Amino acid sequence: MLGGSPVTEPVRYSVEDGIALIAVDNPPVNALSQAVRAGLDAAIARFAEDGEARIAVIYGVGRTFIAGADIREFGKPMAEPFLPDVINRIEASEKPVVAALHGTALGGGLEVALGCHYRVILASGRVGLPEVTLGILPGAGGTQRLPRLSGAEAALDLITSGRQVGAQEADWLNIVDYVAEGEDARAAGLEFARRLLVEECRARRTGEIDPGTKDAELFTSWRETVSRRARGQLSPVVAIDAIEAAYDLPLADGLVRERSLFTELMGSDQRAGLIHAFFAERAVAKIPEAGTATPRDLARIGIIGGGTMGSGIAVAALAGGLTVTLIERDADSAERARSLVEKLLNDGVRRGKMSEARRDALLADAFAAVTDYEALASADLVIEAVFEDMAVKKEVFARLDAVCRPGAILATNTSYLDVDEIAASTSRPADVIGFHFFSPAHVMRLLEVVVGDKTSADVVVTGFALAKKLKKIAVRAGVCDGFIGNRLLNAYRKAADYMVEDGASPYEIDAALVAFGFPMGPFAVSDLAGLDIAWAGRKRRAATRDPRERVVGVADRLCERGWFGQKTGRGYYLYEEGARRGKPDPEVEAIIAAERTEKGIVPRSFDSEEILRRYMAAMINEAAKIVEEGIALRPLDVDVTMLSGYGFPRWRGGPMHYADKVGLDTILADLRSFAEEDPYFWTPARLLVDLAERGGTFADLNKSA
């Protein structure tokens, strides 16, 4: 019942001074669940009948207007009323309807607003059509109404990227009519409606606007660019077809076309993968320590080492509002670190991410690069990012132990080393943790929070709080060689090296993985990261290596020639002066051929399907071990690690989601057949065998964890 409805109803109707107020109240984000759609529909019907109300205002209660469809309903049969019908009925209203926006009006939320006759937004508000990032397209009129308001170019931009725009830009793009000051969307909506009543306004329908003639070349060029960028993801490309329909067809037919493309995408595996990624990114924050401990205060942080990682971490921390003191070995190194930080901040200014004034203020007031550890006496947290060498790390931690105040957190950014051993070298192992950032640290979203045997719960939750401040995604990992991400990387890199030795070329392998959706293949990535880093790791591990392990010498041969990748102009690829993309190198192929001959290997050919099967089987098998050992809490933690730190194509949902889709029995059969040639490397993980044999999936473990 509306009107006298209890406050818990998701849509409420009331009238004030001749203005109908339609409040959407469905915490946390006013998603358009069936109850909200039905409530809106009933409210609009009631408004039509209500002789007292001359205009209506739809607004959201709580932190936001409507943040879109209820994503939890995706993949299930949709219940009536359907959103496009509700929006069509809003647009058809004889009396005007105003949308008063605040927070984030996204997806179906913005589509509701586009169906309204007027739109007012608070200055802090944002709007967007993020559907393509979830594997679908705006299916409730967004692709038909947005171009009518903003023109084809803006619609193509916003819909194919899914990017959000602020109130001001929304105004420029004609998406909204008015930007209001203040914090209260209901009040802004009321005031705007009162003004409209004075002006004797009418129901002004977006759908009745003539979109103008189609610029066919514009669509052709967007199709080319978006297809290239999408790397196999369908939704942004299909969305262009829907937008084009706004120009080719009358509104009613355009809406039908949009809906049919929407329904097609809704049924796709890509949609399932992207929705899995969306919820997995939120679920990783659900860790055993959450709720049992409160984060420690974080305002002042120290960073030891201002090289590649230290400088990037410093910039991420500064952008997150923290004060940073960076310690280097000597004055020259400190000066170099300062210039590196300044350069990264300048890049931010150039890209429009930061104003010059803010950069200057950060450098003057929030950042110092010095050599004296005493400067860290009052730090809340210190992150060590010095060379990857246990002796150097221990020496640094001993100094930190001596100067830092009790309660300060001591973190290491090590990529592989034993966090427990580092912790044990201090008098306060409970305060020691691994914060494993990714390069470039001010850009990459992943932070592995590596929890040692003795790390206390409040230190763990502080890691998650830090990630939030830095706009990163934290994944909880246990201690082992490489934690989650680099341990997996080691496994699938080995599978790639084995294939090279057996006959595949690095270029074929890279091409197969790029076709799968990775931005780069593993050999191009090695060239980018620098082959010397992995070389040092191999030398470190050589003494303790299991004699059963198959070892491929190709990378060592390249390193012995001083070919460390992009930075030296040569690695697996040949880089012409200043080029970032390399060309296949016949000399590398000759080196590989010589290695094969020396080992008596007769090369055979690999097609891209086999390359993928081996690469993915190695990744999934190691991931299963990581979950089995408790290094990752759940399969979804592995997925988020690979998606946000290692370029795994998001629309495939991550390796564990992918494995479920392929079928664990298929993966297991592959592993068993590969194990016949090399049981040491390919023997299937127990968890994988158990799951496959009882018909289970990794997704079951996500639910039960």
HSE value, Cβ hemisphere, 13 Å, CA-based, for 116? 28
Catalytic residue among 91, 111, 244, 622: 111
Find the shortest distance in angstroms from Cβ 438 to ligand NAI.
6
Angle between helical axes of 235-248 and 269-283 (0-180°, round to 10): 120
Cα 223 from Cα 220, distance rounded (Å): 5
Structure tokens at 673: 């057949």
Residue 209 or 443 with smaller CB distance to ligand NAI:
443
Task: Examine residue 69 and tell whether it contacts ligand CAA (CB under 6 A).
Answer: yes
* Binding-site member from 4, 6, 28, 547 for ligand CAA (CB under 6 A): 28
* DSSP symbol at 556: H
Residue 385 or 668 with smaller CB distance to ligand NAI:
385
Total of chain residues touching ligand CAA, rule CB under 6 A: 21
Residue 174 or 308 with smaller CB distance to ligand NAI:
308
Contacts of 531 (CB under 8 A, 6+ apart): 555, 558, 559, 563, 564, 565, 571
- Contact (CB, 8 A) for 333 and 387: no
- Contact (CB, 8 A) for 470 and 315: no
* Binding-site member from 10, 39, 60, 68 for ligand CAA (CB under 6 A): 68
- Contact (CB, 8 A) for 122 and 167: yes
Each residue 378-407 as x (binds ligand NAI by CB under 6 A) or -, in order, gives: -------xxxx---x---x-----------
131 belongs to the catalytic site: yes
Each residue 569-608 as x (binds ligand NAI by CB under 6 A) or -, in order, gives: ----------------------------------------
Each residue 464-493 as x (binds ligand NAI by CB under 6 A) or -, in order, gives: ------------------------------
Task: Examine residue 201 and tell whether it contacts ligand CAA (CB under 6 A).
Answer: no
Find the shortest distance in angstroms from Cβ 134 to ligand CAA.
5
Task: Examine residue 447 and tell whether it contacts ligand NAI (CB under 6 A).
Answer: no
* Binding-site member from 161, 439, 568, 683 for ligand NAI (CB under 6 A): 439
Task: Examine residue 139 and tell whether it contacts ligand NAI (CB under 6 A).
Answer: no
- Contact (CB, 8 A) for 510 and 523: yes
Geometric angle at alpha carbon 218, from 214 and 219, rounded to 5°: 80
* DSSP symbol at 121: E
Task: Examine residue 566 and tell whether it contacts ligand NAI (CB under 6 A).
Answer: no
Q: Measuring CA to CA, which residue among 253, 142, 160, 123 is closest to residue 206?
A: 142
Residue range at the interface with ligand NAI (CB under 6 A); choices 3-11, 135-143, 411-419, 658-666: 411-419
Each residue 274-303 as x (binds ligand CAA by CB under 6 A) or -, in order, gives: --------x---------------------
Residue 64 or 526 with smaller CB distance to ligand CAA:
64
* Binding-site member from 11, 20, 21, 29 for ligand CAA (CB under 6 A): 29
Q: Which residues within the stretch 522-551 sit at the binding site for ligand NAI (CB under 6 A)? A: 529
183 belongs to the catalytic site: no
CA–CA distances in Å: residue 523 to residues 143, 163, 357, 564, 643: 40, 32, 41, 12, 19
Judged by DSSP in three states, 128 sits in strand
Q: Measuring CA to CA, which residue among 458, 518, 538, 504 is closest to residue 654?
A: 518
Cα 328 from Cα 105, distance rounded (Å): 46
Looking at residue 295, its amino acid is: P
Task: Examine residue 496 and tell whether it contacts ligand CAA (CB under 6 A).
Answer: no
Task: Examine residue 83 and tell whether it contacts ligand CAA (CB under 6 A).
Answer: yes
Task: Examine residue 415 and tell whether it contacts ligand NAI (CB under 6 A).
Answer: yes
CA–CA distances in Å: residue 583 to residues 110, 493, 502, 530: 46, 20, 22, 16
Each residue 407-426 as x (binds ligand CAA by CB under 6 A) or -, in order, gives: --------------------
- Contact (CB, 8 A) for 127 and 60: no
Catalytic residue among 73, 94, 131, 224: 131
Task: Examine residue 653 and tell whether it contacts ligand CAA (CB under 6 A).
Answer: no
- Contact (CB, 8 A) for 224 and 241: no
Burial class (CB within 10 angstroms; exposed 0-12, middle 13-18, buried 19+) of 111: buried
- Residues marked active site are found at 111, 131
Residues near ligand NAI (CB under 6 A) are 304-310, 327-329, 333, 385-388, 392, 396, 413-415, 437-439, 529
